[in-house]
Amino acid sequence: METQRVTVRLPSHQVRAMDTFIKLGEFTSRSEVIRASISRFIDEVTEELFAKAERLKKIQQLEAATSQLEKYWKK
């Protein structure tokens, strides 16, 4: 996997939290913490977008069904 360097500025308390995770053995480096965090964030946002897309699809189906019903109501 090709990687790229990205410079990020974080609040001190977040850096301290990352360092604590490393000391506890949960991660081996700050880079690993950041990669894991971004991966989880992308997964979460992707799930949210798929859920929104599914809701939009259902809304569009309901609107189409309503449109068909309106034809019968007008008769």
pLDDT tens track, the chain, 75 positions: 899 999 999 999 999 999 999 999 999 999 999 999 999 999 999 999 999 999 999 999 999 888 878 777 766
Q: Is residue 28 part of a domain?
A: yes
Q: Is residue 5 part of a domain?
A: no
Structure tokens at 71: 């034809």
Q: Is residue 4 part of a domain?
A: no
Residue 28 to residues 18, 34, 38: CA-CA distances in angstroms? 10, 11, 16
Residue 73's pLDDT is 73
What is the extent of the structural domain holding 62? 12-74
Q: Is residue 1 part of a domain?
A: no
Q: Is residue 46 part of a domain?
A: yes
